[in-house]
Amino acid sequence: MARPPAEAAAVARHINGFLSSLAPSRTNRSGRTAKSYRDALTLYVGFLETVNKTRPAQLRADCFARENIKEWLAWLADARGCGPATRNNRLAAITAFLKYLAGKDIACLCLHEDARAIPRAKVARRKVEGLSRQAVKALMRAPDQSTRTGRRDLAIMVFLYATACRIDELLSLRVAHLALDTDRPSVTVVGKGNKVRTLSLLPKAAAHLRRHLAEHHGPDPDPEAYVFYSRNTGPSGKMTQPAVAKQLKKHAAAARRECPQVPAGMHAHRFRHAKASHWLEDGMNIVQISFLLGHESIQTTMVYLDITTEQEAAALATLEGERDKAAPKRWKTAAGGLAAFCGLDPLKP
């Protein structure tokens, strides 16, 4: 393949740079977010290549023009069978890429603004599934406290419910983020977009964390160690979301025998939904709850507290590879297609 024009190479490089910037090791985003964005770009580039017949040398920033994006959204619905919520998620990913691109090249700012102006599809609403107070108590009784793993799992559940943190916020906690030996114990949480918030810890949550630190980190813990770490890597590597999900499902199965209100499809985010609704029941105002949940908009909090939410696409697999290394010169590879040129997987039928 002949060497592509400078603009084509630049756009391909920016696609790779954008995806690398989303790696969980660089940000507090979850692997699912990064995988979702990669999937959206794979679909878009696949559309350009298979439907618009765009070759690598023809790749330009204006391939992401508004009319192309709208045609792509129609193709997702008609040819791929994607529902409204999925199309909205894909569009959000492309818009995020164009924001990144505008930051690299101000001439592309109009592309980002045009993408933002594309109307989102209307999505049916469904009930958010939280937990009753009885279900929370039953779950807390499920882990075997005579085992090291059981004590760790209880500490995780107590923390998730006490703080209403997202699962990745919990797994990203380092020892330095905890202030337990004070009159008012607290934790500093790094949320989405690297937004930092400090949350108070009630005595029960603080006690479980102290016990966990003493048992898993010893008398002199490393401030940079992950509070909940992987057994394979030790304190330098965070515990994975699939590992937490596996334990929660096991404890939910045991708790259901005692309390039928415990859902069979238990996952960590249910603690967040549950705590938000319980705070509301206890009389906390919406502004306080919005801060504690780390929401950028109170409107987001209202969606949670109405116990309704827009339907989400099925959970995506965790990020397989961060691809932090510089992109190879793809015009020298044998594949020759647009997807390979952009460092993306070929479109699957």
Q: Which domains does the chain have, with CATH numbers?
A: 6-124+313-341 (no CATH), 133-310 (1.10.443.10)
Please write the tens of the pLDDT for every residue from 65-81: 999 999 999 999 999 99
Going by pLDDT thresholds of 50, 70 and 90, the confidence category of residue 128 is low
Mean pLDDT for the stretch of residues 82-101: 94
| In contact, 43 and 82? CB cutoff 8 Å | no
Please state the separation of Cα 98 from the chain's center in Å.
19
| In contact, 24 and 192? CB cutoff 8 Å | no
The predicted structure's pLDDT at residue 327: 43
Mean pLDDT for the stretch of residues 283-312: 65
What SS3 class is residue 229?
strand
The predicted structure's pLDDT at residue 215: 95
Going by pLDDT thresholds of 50, 70 and 90, the confidence category of residue 331 is very low
| In contact, 41 and 19? CB cutoff 8 Å | yes
The predicted structure's pLDDT at residue 304: 57
Distances in whole angstroms, Cα of residue 85 to Cα of each of 19, 126, 189, 303: 22, 12, 29, 16
| In contact, 269 and 166? CB cutoff 8 Å | yes
The predicted structure's pLDDT at residue 193: 73
Going by pLDDT thresholds of 50, 70 and 90, the confidence category of residue 26 is very low
What SS3 class is residue 310?
strand
Whether 53 shows a pLDDT value over 70: the answer reads yes
Query: Which of 127-141, 161-175, 206-220, 312-326 shows the lowest mean pLDDT across its residues?
Result: 312-326
Query: Which of 105-119, 137-151, 187-201 shows the lowest mean pLDDT across its residues?
Result: 187-201
Mean pLDDT for the stretch of residues 84-97: 94
Q: Vertex 127, ends 122 and 131: CA angle to 5°?
A: 150
Going by pLDDT thresholds of 50, 70 and 90, the confidence category of residue 312 is very low
What letters, b where the CB count within 10 A reaches 16 and e where it falls short, cover 5-43?
eeebbbbbbbbbebbbebbbeebbbbbbbbbbbbbbbbb
% of the chain residues with pLDDT over 70: 83
Distances in whole angstroms, Cα of residue 99 to Cα of each of 19, 111, 186: 13, 8, 35
31/16 Cα distance (integer angstroms): 16
Q: Which residue has the tokens 């490089």?
A: 13
Going by pLDDT thresholds of 50, 70 and 90, the confidence category of residue 318 is very low
Whether 274 shows a pLDDT value over 80: the answer reads yes
Among 126-140, 210-224, 323-337, top mean pLDDT goes to 210-224
Type of residue numbered 91: L
Strands (E), the chain: 125-127, 178-179, 186-190, 196-200, 229-230, 234-238, 308-310
Mean pLDDT for the stretch of residues 305-333: 37
The predicted structure's pLDDT at residue 323: 37
DSSP letter for 121, please.
P
The predicted structure's pLDDT at residue 273: 86
| In contact, 307 and 277? CB cutoff 8 Å | yes
Query: Which of 99-113, 210-224, 253-267, 330-344 shows the lowest mean pLDDT across its residues?
Result: 330-344
Structure tokens at 270: 């249910």
